[in-house]
Amino acid sequence: MGYLHNAFRKKSFRLLSFVVGLVFALVMGCQTSAQVASTEILWDTYGIPHIYGKNGSNAFQAFGWAQMQSHGNLLLRLYGQARGRAAEYWGEEYLESDRWVLTAGVPERARSWYSLQSPTFRSYLDAFAAGINAYAREHGDKLDDEVEVVLPVKGEDVLAHLHRVLHFTFVVNPEQVAGVAKEESKPGSNGWAIAPSRSATGKAMLLANPHLPWSDLFLWYEAQITAPGINAYGATLVGIPVLTIAFNDNLGWTHTVNTFDGWDTYELKLVDKGYRFDNKVRSFETTTLSVKVKQKDGSLLDQPLVVKQSIHGPVVSEKDGKAIALRVVGLDRPGVLEQWWDMARSQNLKQFETALQRLQLPMFTVMYADRDGHIMHLFNGQVPIRKKGDFEYWQGIIPGDTSKTLWTKIHPYKDLPRIVDPQSGWLQNTNDPPWTTTFPTAIKADDYPSYIAPRFMDFRAQRSTRMLFEDDKITFDEMVEYKHSTRMELADRILDDLIPAARKQGSELALRAAEVLEFWDRQANADSKGAVLFAAWAEQIDWDKTFSKPWNENFPLTTPDGLADPKSAVATLEAVAAKVEKTYGSLDVAWGDVFRLVVSNKNLPANGGSGNLGIFRALDFAPASEDRFQAVAGDSFVAAIEFSQPVRAMALTSYGNATQPGSPHVGDQLAIFVNKQLRPVWRERQEILAHLEERKMF
């Protein structure tokens, strides 16, 4: 009842805000053209900044200000880490982060990249930094004292943060280098592009749906940027000065993390003070850095960091007469921010691809749609040209004693898997390889080097494809409904085997478990009963051994299937059923009673779950207590766009558009998330003014 009362109060407040905003809009409609031309931020009632810049520099400055107002503490902490000085600022807990950043050469390379920017774009970076600093000067009381040590921010700090995020978090991260398999620990996403032939209105549609952790450098920030030559709406990661997923009146795109391999670790055989390469001994380039670590008494302790560079890249570990060196793509390509900026300024497919062809963005699938009716899937990435080996070979540690394994060039744009306007009329990607983007198959794996991408199609991709494949004419509202689907593809595939096996072989407990699974709706809605039991079973099975029919690319939507060992599957079901019943007092506990959405002081029942289960509305959970779990990653920013006239769009930033203490927008969209809805996108000035919360003039 408390939730309903709060929801009613919030709805009443928004109604009042709408009326006040409408009156204000009528008044502001009389403003002079000179006032319209001034730079300003119009904040709507969801804390979305709509930036109007009289030129590019002013727009960037306002965007820097806006990000500080919404995420100032987080932004400064991220910039401090990108400098490799976080341990100096905040203590030993950041020491490993600094070592990673400095070994990778992030701060030094950011300075080089800054000098390589075009004069115009360099001025934009400076303006973004100036906006950050201006906010801090005027509102330092709203920032935590401990993060102010990062100030002032410079343009090169913006690039250092970008570099750390893109190349040394998304392309490769420390956990992967330490031994985690390359394909694991990767954030995910959903992306759809629907052509006019499959759209109920005859207009192309786009679904943007990244799934990232709900914290730290992965947080999305929703905004609109309007300036001469640009009027784009979308989102970016906190601290990045351009929109990275966006749309305008004529086109839009989204990204998903693709099955891309842009890094390798090489094993070097150490000889004397060097390493063996092509039957010769090469010397390392060695630099000794000093990492300052803040002590509990406030003093600084210097710790030396010796960075060794081989022809492959920096040495990241040494043991038993061998060293491991890391090689990463894109370190010589500093223009990704300007590329994203020009993608948002593009007005048609040709202009958009002209920007893409620069290949400054090191990875990510690009899913695209436009007003002209074109849709496109591009397996974007700086893909190394490798002389040998398939995708699996390059997942291991590579011999580093020969130039035969050392890649030095990347594939040009024309070599990348790409399809425009497929026969099917739709494209999808859920972090699966490009070969499964649509059916009939439009991008054939055999036409590309075997190292570009693996061959598989997981259950989330199959669920995604099934929803598109089975609907000949998709309405905008249906696309939004499909986006919120919590149906488990795995359950649809395997329950017809598991339930009879439990009834045939199982104990009294297994029979009761089978009964619960029989009457379950096969979804992970808040009130779904049986989902907790099934998810617990799926978590315990050995996915490589469970199915009697493994995945087959000739039957991509119906495999894997069948139980290889029904007896073992039932034994696992009995074991998890006993645990579920003991923990929750019932086998049919509701999903939302166990899985929660917790942001700030809000604690609401979740819907959605692991993509491994074949759930399109993906959420990942972590233990919050002995018997409850809270969402920590997954559905984050969502945008559904139809390229009609005018463009129709709805969006949601699940956890709200702010993290700054005291902001009313921390978690304010969570109730919409719970209801499996999106909110309207306000792009026109008059409707923004009608929902105005705050205005900032520059």
The whole-angstrom separation of Cα 555 and Cα 541 is 23
Instruction: Please state whether 544 falls in left (phi above 0), alpha (psi between -120 and 50) or beta.
Output: alpha
The sheet with strand 49-52 has its strands ordered as: 418-420, 375-379, 365-370, 251-256, 245-247, 230-237, 220-227, 49-52, 40-44, 692-697
The whole-angstrom separation of Cα 657 and Cα 670 is 11
Structure tokens that stand for 397 in this block? 């540690």
| CA atoms within 13 Å, Cβ hemisphere of 618 | 29
Running along the chain, 698 residues long, what does each successive block of 10 average in pLDDT? Answer: 38 43 41 57 98 98 98 98 98 98 98 98 98 98 98 98 98 87 64 98 98 98 98 98 98 97 97 95 97 97 97 96 96 98 98 98 98 98 97 96 98 98 98 98 98 97 98 98 98 98 94 98 98 98 95 97 97 97 98 97 97 97 96 97 97 98 97 98 98 97
Strands 300-309 and 220-227: unpaired
**Partner residues linked to 509 by β-bridges:** none
CATH code of the domain occupying 263-328+385-410: 2.30.120.10
b/e code 652-667 from CB counts within 10 Å (16+ = b): bbbbbbbbbeebebbb
The whole-angstrom separation of Cα 365 and Cα 368 is 10
User: What ranges in 139-259 are assigned the alpha helix state H?
Assistant: 155-165, 174-177
- Residue 669 and residue 635 in contact, taking contact as beta carbons nearer than 8 Å: no
Residue whose structure tokens are 């730290």:
216
The whole-angstrom separation of Cα 63 and Cα 59 is 6
What class has domain 489-615? mainly alpha
The whole-angstrom separation of Cα 65 and Cα 673 is 28
The whole-angstrom separation of Cα 433 and Cα 444 is 11
Which amino acid type is present at position 438?
T
- Residue 40 and residue 190 in contact, taking contact as beta carbons nearer than 8 Å: no
Cα angle 562-568-571, degrees, rounded to a multiple of 5: 120
N-terminal to C-terminal alpha carbon distance within the chain: 44
Structure tokens that stand for 571 in this block? 């034994």
The whole-angstrom separation of Cα 362 and Cα 262 is 8
Q: Where are the domains of the chain?
A: 2-183+678-697, 189-258+333-381+416-483, 263-328+385-410, 489-615
Is 189-258+333-381+416-483 in the same CATH topology as 2-183+678-697? Answer: no
The whole-angstrom separation of Cα 670 and Cα 603 is 9
- Residue 457 and residue 552 in contact, taking contact as beta carbons nearer than 8 Å: no
Q: Give the pLDDT score at 3.
A: 34
Q: Give the pLDDT score at 5.
A: 38
- Given 3.30.230.10, 2.130.10.10, 1.10.439.10, 1.10.30.50, which CATH number is that of 2-183+678-697? 1.10.439.10
- Residue 597 and residue 523 in contact, taking contact as beta carbons nearer than 8 Å: no
The whole-angstrom separation of Cα 304 and Cα 288 is 7
CATH code of the domain occupying 189-258+333-381+416-483: 3.60.20.10
**With 0-12 CB in 10 A as exposed, 13-18 as middle and 19+ as buried, what is 253?**
buried
User: What ranges in 278-356 are assigned the alpha helix state H?
Assistant: 336-345, 349-356
Complete DSSP assignment for 579-593: HHHHHHSSTT-BHHH
Q: How far is CA 647 from CA 10, 51, 203, 639, 650, in A?
A: 28, 19, 10, 12, 10
